[in-house]
């Protein structure tokens, strides 16, 4: 399920979720809008601080949000 979610929001198919793609993902999953809200979550789960969310980081994000 997370793999399909990743593939849906990795619009340009570069293997990572960019900030722009992440905003769409956060709004869709959490039904909250706003760049500040999405940016805060993005920073929290961009574990290696490379300014993108990898598939592994997304899996951790989904697990954390599900708890």
**For the segment 2-11, what is each residue's pLDDT rounded down to a tens digit?**
888 899 999 9
Using CA atoms, how far residue 52 sits from 21, 28, 45, 67, in Å, is: 9, 18, 9, 23
pLDDT tens-digit series, residues 9-29:
999 999 999 998 988 887 887
Q: What are phi and psi of 53, to 5 degrees?
A: -105, 120
Q: What is the pLDDT of residues 45-67, one digit of tens each?
A: 899 999 999 999 988 877 877 76
- Structural domains of the chain, ranges and CATH numbers in brackets: 2-66 (1.10.238.10)
> Rounded mean pLDDT of 33-38?
66
* Whole-structure pTM value: 0.77
């Amino acid at each position: 399920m997370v793999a399909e979610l990743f593939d849906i929001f990795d619009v340009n198919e570069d293997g990572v979720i960019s900030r722009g793609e992440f905003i769409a993902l956060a709004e869709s999953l959490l039904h909250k809008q706003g760049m500040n809200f999405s940016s805060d979550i993005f920073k929290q789960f961009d574990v290696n601080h490379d300014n993108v969310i990898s598939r592994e980081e997304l899996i951790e994000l989904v697990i954390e949000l599900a708890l």
